[in-house]
Amino acid sequence: MQAARNLFADVFKSAAAPPAPAAAAAAAAAASAAAAAKLPLQKLYLAGIDRLIAISAIQGGTAAAAAAAAAATATAAAAADEDLADDDASDAPPAAAAAAAAAETAAAAAAGIIISIRHYRIIFNKAEGAAPGAPPAVKLEEIGPQIELKPDRVRLASAEMWRSAVKSMEKARAEQQKQQQQQQQQQQQQQQQQQQQQKKKNKNKTTNEFGDTIGRVHVGTPDIHRLQQLQSPLLYKLQRAERRMKQQQQQQQQEEEQQQE
């Protein structure tokens, strides 16, 4: 950043003729005009715009930064003089504090980056000596407060954020088209996979009226001997009882046969 990067602010400051309250304002206008001369000019479409908020980033140590610091100091000094003239001697400390703050701002402007915020009202005037039908002359009238910000901590943007902020509409549209094409390809692949799965023959499966799939399960030959084995203690007890009954019946039969003999 060699000078003010905001093209709108530089162009309008160089084109407009703002009121000159002090010599500092003239110096700031001259520095802005010099910075605007270095930057390429573009067309400005101001139809329907009434006000303009210009935000500029100025590198410390340049002529524009020095002019901005001088303007801030002159504004603070003028405010301090008005306070001293209007108020009593008891109000002197606030004015001194304002002057000290302005001095700190001027010192901070010498190093680092200054964020300058200005609020203008757009005025269209008839150009002097212009031919009939010529466009009007554009002038700016400053109406808002002058704000000078100095960031104490700076964090660089990530590569993705920088690319998204810098890329043009054509690149953004191309990326959107690529994403849409990729999504369409994925959907087509999924549909093809589903169709291939449906084409496979499913044996021993039937679909009823409700859409439920019913399949047959083929079980191997059962082991009858294993099924006949007693695996429950209750069944063991029953078997013992049956054996006892059989033994008792056999004993009774043997006794009857002996008696008959």
pLDDT digits (tens, 9 = 90+) for 20-71: 444 444 444 444 444 444 545 455 555 667 888 888 888 766 565 556 656 6
Rounded CA separation 215/207 (Å): 9
> Any idea which residue has 């959907």 for tokens?
187
The reported pTM is: 0.32
pLDDT above 80: residue 137: yes
Q: Hey, where are the domains in the chain?
A: 7-166
Q: Which of 50-64, 103-117, 236-250 has the lowest mean pLDDT?
A: 103-117
pLDDT above 90: residue 184: yes
The 3-state DSSP class for residue 122 equals strand
- Residues 6 or more apart whose CB falls under 8 angstroms from that of 156 comprise none
Q: Which of 141-150, 195-204, 214-223, 230-239 has the lowest mean pLDDT?
A: 195-204
pLDDT above 60: residue 77: no
Q: Which ranges in 40-126 belong to alpha helices (H)?
A: 63-86, 92-109
